[in-house]
Amino acid sequence: MCKILTSARIAMVFLFVMASCSGVKTAEKTSAITAEIPALIPLPTEVNWRDEVYQLPKKNTICAAPGTETAAKWLEKLLISANLNPKMLTAESCGNWQLKLNKDLISSIGEEGYALTVNDSGILLESGSEAGLFYGIQTLRQFFPAQIETGKTGKIAFRQVHIRDTPAYEWRGSMVDMARSFFGMDYLKTHIDRMALYKMNRLHLHLSDDQGWRIQLDAYPQLTEIGSKSSVEGGRSGFLTKEQFSEIQKYAKERHIIVIPEIDMPGHIYAALRSLPELNCEDQSNINPAHVLPPEPYTGYKVGWTKFCMDNPKTYEFAQNVLREIAEMTMGDYLHIGGDEIEDPAYEEFILKIDKMVQDLGKTGIGWEEITKAAVSNNMISQQWHGKVNPKNKNIRQIESICSSFYLDHANVPGQPNTLNWCNKEGVSLADVYGFRSENPNALGMEAPVWSEHVLTDEMMDDRFWPRLMAVAEISWSPKQALDFEDFKQRLGRQGLRMKLMGIHHYPTPGIAWPEVPVNSVYTDVFSGFSPNN
């Protein structure tokens, strides 16, 4: 029977194997290869480790059954990075690396699940979908020593195993706030690569707020000509062109990540009001208190002081045109319309109109939980961030982003500089993230935002996301009964070298056995910039 092994049990098995040399033919071979059980994150659903090992030969053959051609290219890239000289064949059964697509598996392990076997014959990876094969390859990537990220590996052996794996939740996400301080193409692609390694599949981009507008639109060029040139104090300005937004989405889609654009409305809208003054009320009563007035840029941190003039017909014309153009350029099914931190008699009417607009565009709307003050349709999704709104529609699907567990702009440890603490004065610790358990039957999954009021560089964004995002990845993938924080910390420490070699500027969380890595290491990622379609 398959079972999940904690690190403590793994250590006992490993010590016994090394003492008895079970499954290793000679003592010389034992010293020449690495057969340690990998520190997988997220923890697979079912794992049955064996004592035996499979030593990878110098030359390898990938046997790609029909339908697995894309996955085979990912696997080929991985084996090339490990200097394993792969040859690819298209057949049902041939080499020591076999990829199979079996639609019947979907009924037992879902659209994103996979089955992985390592035995004396080699490696067999099966799934009912391309996504499942991709996630199985990410698991295999963690079987390799961390040095594979830089292409420096010696002899390699895998512990033999059978894994059946499927995610607990369909929504496993992170959010980058680009509006307050801009994060460009290089960072977004790098972040996507890292998300993919840990089987995360939703990237939410917060593209507009009081401080800046970050997406190009043909209908309103002023939004980027004016609104993109500001940021929070000390932050970066800029915007994504339509071509860049398309490129980011394609890059993410190849890694089975859906990009969700957010245009925040009817509040958090000063950058648009500044760019298009005709959207303001005549007396500018929609800007209150007036921290600044158009045409001055806003570089502060306060929120909830701007909103659309909701009795102005131009407001709805603007919303319609913006949502239409965003929908046309969005490959995924989702449009996020914000909707938070706003009080106005016309708020509910506005949200219902936007809900219908999004539905008419063929997309699924998402909004922060305040949208459920209105009787929105079942098509909408509520993103929970404080959990205080009693929704009018009790059947609405929800994303868990409760600030005390998932707002990663908060401190890793109490008192960390350049962090927020309004939700939890002690910050949001690794334990706070890992300890979250949803009892909500309508929950689609989890998403961790980083708001960028005080996050001004790529390194600072890394520091906020990592390693806490790995905890988000595990609790949204692995079964609840398998979650063990002490075991997770041990596996996390063993992931430290890989994170360093990938150039992740992670926060050195206390209580984790982080490895020492020379500062002059060459930082790279085995799949950085790779496309299976080229």
Q: What are the residue numbers of the active site?
A: 341
Contact 47, 76 (CB under 8 A): no
Secondary structure class of 60 (helix, strand, coil)? strand
How far apart (Å, rounded) are the C-alpha atoms in residues 271 and 38?
A: 48
- Which has the closest alpha carbon to 497: 166, 223, 152, 89? 152
How far apart (Å, rounded) are the C-alpha atoms in residues 292 and 294?
A: 7
- Which has the closest alpha carbon to 111: 97, 96, 131? 131
- Which has the closest alpha carbon to 340: 169, 175, 171, 173? 175
- 44 upstream amide cis, omega within 30 of 0: no
Provide CB contacts within 8 A for 154, sequence distance 6+.
none
How far apart (Å, rounded) are the C-alpha atoms in residues 194 and 358?
A: 31
CA angle at 349 for the pair 343 and 352, rounded to the nearest 5°: 115
Query: Sheet of 157-165: strands edge to edge?
Result: 46-55, 157-165, 114-119, 122-127, 97-101, 60-64, 86-90
3-state secondary structure 368-409: EHHHHHCCCCCCCEEEECCCCCCCCCCCCEEEECCHHHHCCC
How far apart (Å, rounded) are the C-alpha atoms in residues 469 and 517?
A: 21
How far apart (Å, rounded) are the C-alpha atoms in residues 227 and 225?
A: 6
Question: In the 8-state DSSP scheme, what is residue 64?
Answer: E
- Report the interhelical angle of 468-477 vs 458-465 (nearest 10°): 40
3-state secondary structure 274-297: HHCHHHCCCCCCCECCCCCCCCCC
Provide CB contacts within 8 A for 31, sequence distance 6+.
none
How far apart (Å, rounded) are the C-alpha atoms in residues 412 and 427?
A: 6
- Radius of gyration (C-alpha) of the chain in whole angstroms: 24
